[in-house]
Structure 1
Amino acid sequence: MTTPDAHRHDTRATHRGSRPAVAAAALAAVLLCTLGNVTAAPAHAAGQVGAGQPVAADCPPALAEKATCYTGQDSNGASYTMAVPDRWNGSLVVHAHGGPGLGDASDPARSTEDLERWAVMVDQGYAWAGSSYRRGGYGARMAAADTESVRRLFADRFGRPERTYLHGQSWGGDVAAKVAETYGRRPGAYDGVLLTSGVLGGGSRGYDYRVDLRAVYQYYCHNHPRPTEPQYPLWQGVRPGSTMTSAGLRSRLQECTGYASEPAERTASQQRNLDDILAVTGIPERTLESHLRFATFTFRDIVTNRLGGRNPWSNRGVRYTGSHDDKALNAGVERFSADPSARRDLSYDSDLTGKVDLPVLTLHAIDDPTAFVEHEAAYRATLRGAGRGGNLVQTFTKEHEHSSLSDSEYANSIVALDAWARTGRKPSPRSLAASCAAFDVTYGEGCFYDPGFRPSSYASRVRPRPGGLAWPAMTAAQERAWSRIDGVGIAP
């Protein structure tokens, strides 16, 4: 199952109890089921390194004459790919991929595909290492642990790099930011972070526009589920055990909106449904199907597989506007409220604290149709709230894509981050816009920076949930139980 990311394109559970120890025990039992048995064992623990050692493999065609490539699997079952350029500059880029994909096992092809996609990093002289994660499905802390694992394996095999940089793309932006917060304070682990097209609003609010899409779609279309099919609450995405496929979902979307047809071929009813859905949700027509897929299949993964059937989503009190009849829409749309423990658990797994003490550079298309550029405003507010706003430089381009921006800009970004980490001289959006031209001589894909752009607040694009994000905090005992299971206990 794919998501809006073009290359396959996210919780912690707790029960209320009178004593922290009782709550922690219940939490641990649930998590062993919902989080896919994520372990805390370090990839480099005694007796395990040999099994995870990289072995030589064919490089993608773009790097065949420029690097030596390696593949392997770490002790938790996460497949990975590495590349060391023939003219290595001594530094390493550790990559966190987007998605998440929804397979049960680690897909070895994923990290190799991403190496090909990000060959520009290796072309610039950086070694590259990327994990496919130990399983598909949501789990930012699981993915962060596997990303840290591949860094350690690289250092074990090739020696400690001069500098190590994190790169996260799409949902991988959330993962890489989580790596920086969780492992980045350890001396010598990481020196900087590059986040491209990042989903940086966190799981607890970063998908609210898809929550709205799921409810608004059903109000207009009445076919997901159909009245003749078993009914279920929409926050499940799709009911557990459903055999619906991506093709089946596309068929229902086409039936209701004619989205895949030329406008002249749509019925009046289809056109009105499409117009209302797009106007109310603010989702671009070109990515409507991919967002609905996420709100169907990835929501099922989060709710059913990761949260034990508990609901982390809410649209209670949200007023929808922009349709041909807002009064009828708001009266008829399905409403639901989040289970506080589920919302908290999703937040703990994937929300960001902003407590990162490394240089962080972001790159985002203003017209990103998948991870709206307002995610950057959410991340900026998070870092400022943590007193780390000075560690962040954000850049924006006039491009219209999510999964692939200009290689000239990617090369410019990683080299600028490297210079910032080495010299302490912070770049600016204007200086980055100016320096890109030198890389475009090589890559010729263009430089599209808009150094004066600043995104509006996240709430300006995504309707806030009444009541905000005030959910019960974990006790210390509950948090320790979570950490023992989800992999954050990797030893230094």
Structure 2
Amino acid sequence: MYAASLVTALVVGMSPVGMSPIPAPLPTVACPAELPANTTCHGGQDSTGAFYSIAIPSNWNGTLVLHAHGGPDLGAPTQDRSVGDLTRWSVMVREGYAWAGSSYRRGGYGTRMAVRDTENVRQLFTSAFGEPDVTILHGQSWGGNIAAKAAELHDYDGVLLTNGVLAGGSRGYDYRVDLRVVYQYYCANHPRPSEPQYPLWTGLRKDSTMTGSGLRARLQECTGIESPSQLRTPLQQRNLSDILAVTKLPERTLSSHLSFATFTFRDIVHNRLGGRNPFGNRGVQYAGSHDDAALNRGVERFQADPSAVRDLSYDSDLTGRVTEPVLTMHAVNDPTAFVEHESAYRASVAGDNLVQTFTTESEHSALSDSGYASAISALSTWVRTGQRPTPASVAESCSAFDRTYATGCFFDPRFTPGSYDSRVYPRPGGTHWPALTWSQAAAWSHIPGVGITG
């Protein structure tokens, strides 16, 4: 009813009753081929420099899905980023939801920056098309951290978090800190002894010209990871086996984790924290190698700067203060954002407004369309009727959607993840900033200079 009245008002050039006059229309662009026919798409760049994409199907059900993407990307924002996200989650539009997403105004880390840019595209949508009946915020990967933080700062009707990085920045990357130091202990080529030295918590020296391909070449040199196992030298195989055993990382994503611990760490430290160190590994006892005693004696150790931990925590750690329904979906075998992130989030959220579901999938960046359709439908019903779903009810609903999408149903309603510390080495001795409370976050927001810069 609401969508139909809105379309009528637009056709006759009037504002819907009770709304402000509609500003100049948003540019219309071609829709990705994956979207249903008769979908209207809009795209452009907002006043901050972020690119946005919006899609409204002809059978719009009155609900807007507001998307927060993962990463962070380190390059300059592009329109392709938001179009690619729209394409990847075109199932939302095929299910009758309007969709809007931002590229964010710049590359690099900054959870609260991304929250602001996600809100900006929401305001663009509302200004052009009116207030949706329902707004659901969807965050994927790092976007899960963004969406969970946004839900603490702004009002939405519901929140969907898929394969989310939900342990927050101050401890959500500890396993990559561990990788950075363990890798260097075994490989000693990042940096090489002949190159300028720097503390490993910086990821990479600020003026380095190393590229992703250059980093992969060093990983191959040390471990032979790109070669068949029978072509690796005994030392390469032992290095690879030790690194994987100690860090508990999957071989297939080792390169991407090392890239994050190199280039994204450099961005966090040099570009966002003014050269201060938010990471620490003092007191961590690494295990699983062929010689743990030697590893623990020889691995580089460092203590975090409390002010850097405070600022990273303020930017991205989660207080759990959410009042809207929140549904999460996480692959049990996610090789990038481990499923134990869900345990960290569950520990922060009080009350009954969090339902967590798990699938037996093994990918991070995209899950089954049938699963996404089931999750968004269950959350929408919860928002509109107050009927709280269960992991079992979400799983049971999937088969109906799979008749349309035929991508498989993989929900496991019996699964419970282990604790976060069961997967990631805990930091003894107070490396982390104390748990961020809502009152602390509110107080810090008034202190000049607190938080991530840029």
TM over 0.5: yes
Partner of 1:413: 375
Let me know the Cα RMSD of the aligned residues: 1.8
Partner of 2:100: 129
For 1:147 and 1:231, locate their aligned partners in 2 and report how far apart those are by CA, in whole Å.
Answer: 39
Q: Summarize the Cα distance change of 1:329–1:422 in structure 2 as closer, same or farther, 3 Å threshold.
A: same
For 2:360 and 2:260, locate their aligned partners in 1 and report how far apart those are by CA, in whole Å.
Answer: 26
For 1:169 and 1:482, locate their aligned partners in 2 and report how far apart those are by CA, in whole Å.
Answer: 31
Q: Given the alignment, which residue of 374, 380, 385 partners 2:340?
A: 374
Partner of 1:465: 427
Whether contact under 8 Å (2:312, 2:451) holds in the other structure is: no
Q: Summarize the Cα distance change of 1:317–1:477 in structure 2 as closer, same or farther, 3 Å threshold.
A: same
For 1:322 and 1:485, locate their aligned partners in 2 and report how far apart those are by CA, in whole Å.
Answer: 36
Partner of 1:456: 418
Partner of 2:275: 309
Count of residues in Structure 1 that have an aligned counterpart in Structure 2: 428
For 1:64 and 1:192, locate their aligned partners in 2 and report how far apart those are by CA, in whole Å.
Answer: 25
Partner of 1:200: 166
Structure 1 position 96 matched with structure 2 position 68: yes
Instruction: Provide Cα deviations, 1:66-94, integer angstroms capped at 9, x if missing partner.
Output: 41100122221211000000111111000
Partner of 2:40: 68
Q: Given the alignment, which residue of 186, 208, 224 partners 1:242?
A: 208
For 2:371 and 2:153, locate their aligned partners in 1 and report how far apart those are by CA, in whole Å.
Answer: 28
Q: Summarize the Cα distance change of 1:147–1:482 in structure 2 as closer, same or farther, 3 Å threshold.
A: farther
Partner of 1:6: none
Report how far residue 64 of structure 1 moved.
5.7
Q: Given the alignment, which residue of 209, 218, 229 partners 1:252?
A: 218
For 1:476 and 1:413, locate their aligned partners in 2 and report how far apart those are by CA, in whole Å.
Answer: 32
Structure 1 position 111 matched with structure 2 position 82: yes
For 1:93 and 1:175, locate their aligned partners in 2 and report how far apart those are by CA, in whole Å.
Answer: 15
For 2:138 and 2:26, locate their aligned partners in 1 and report how far apart those are by CA, in whole Å.
Answer: 21
* Amino acid in the other structure paired with 2:327: L
* Amino acid in the other structure paired with 2:391: P
For 2:131 and 2:164, locate their aligned partners in 1 and report how far apart those are by CA, in whole Å.
Answer: 28
Q: Given the alignment, which residue of 174, 179, 183 partners 1:217?
A: 183
Structure 1 position 294 matched with structure 2 position 250: no
Partner of 1:41: none
Whether contact under 8 Å (1:137, 1:301) holds in the other structure is: yes
Moved more, 289-298 or 464-473: 464-473
SS in 2 for 1:322: coil
Q: Given the alignment, which residue of 159, 163, 182 partners 2:153?
A: 182
Q: Given the alignment, which residue of 321, 335, 355 partners 1:393?
A: 355
Give matches, 1:155-194, under 5 Å. Answer: 155-184=126-155, 190-194=156-160
User: Structure 1 length normalisation: TM-score?
Assistant: 0.85
Identical aligned pairs, as a percentage?
A: 67
SS in 1 for 2:34: helix
* Amino acid in the other structure paired with 2:79: P
Partner of 1:15: none
SS in 1 for 2:329: strand
Q: Given the alignment, which residue of 389, 394, 397 partners 1:435?
A: 397
SS in 2 for 1:425: coil
* Amino acid in the other structure paired with 1:341: S
Structure 1 position 403 matched with structure 2 position 374: no
Whether contact under 8 Å (2:56, 2:93) holds in the other structure is: yes
Q: Summarize the Cα distance change of 1:483–1:354 in structure 2 as closer, same or farther, 3 Å threshold.
A: farther
Q: Given the alignment, which residue of 249, 264, 270 partners 2:230?
A: 264
Q: Summarize the Cα distance change of 1:448–1:485 in structure 2 as closer, same or farther, 3 Å threshold.
A: closer
SS in 1 for 2:122: helix
SS in 2 for 1:72: strand
Task: List alignment gaps of at least 5 residues for structure 2.
Answer: 1-21
Whether contact under 8 Å (1:58, 1:64) holds in the other structure is: no
SS in 2 for 1:95: strand
Whether contact under 8 Å (1:70, 1:82) holds in the other structure is: yes
For 1:222 and 1:464, locate their aligned partners in 2 and report how far apart those are by CA, in whole Å.
Answer: 25
* Amino acid in the other structure paired with 1:403: S
Report how far residue 108 of structure 1 moved.
1.5
Partner of 2:241: 275
For 1:484 and 1:266, locate their aligned partners in 2 and report how far apart those are by CA, in whole Å.
Answer: 48
Whether contact under 8 Å (1:310, 1:339) holds in the other structure is: yes
Task: List alignment gaps of at least 5 residues for structure 1.
Answer: 1-48, 185-189, 488-492
Higher relative contact order (CA 8 A, sep 6+): 1
Report how far residue 139 of structure 1 moved.
0.2
Q: Summarize the Cα distance change of 1:378–1:83 in structure 2 as closer, same or farther, 3 Å threshold.
A: same
SS in 1 for 2:42: strand
Give matches, 1:317-336, under 5 Å. Answer: 317-336=283-302
Whether contact under 8 Å (1:354, 1:382) holds in the other structure is: yes
For 1:272 and 1:397, locate their aligned partners in 2 and report how far apart those are by CA, in whole Å.
Answer: 33
Give matches, 1:72-91, under 5 Å. Answer: 72-91=44-63
Whether contact under 8 Å (1:196, 1:364) holds in the other structure is: yes
Moved more, 338-347 or 55-64: 55-64
Instruction: Provide Cα deviations, 1:187-223, integer angstroms capped at 9, x if missing partner.
Output: xxx1000000000000000000000000000000000
Instruction: Provide Cα deviations, 1:84-112, integer angstroms capped at 9, x if missing partner.
Output: 00111111000000000002x32221001
User: Structure 2 length normalisation: TM-score?
Assistant: 0.91
Give matches, 1:2-81, under 5 Å. Answer: 54-63=26-35, 65-81=37-53
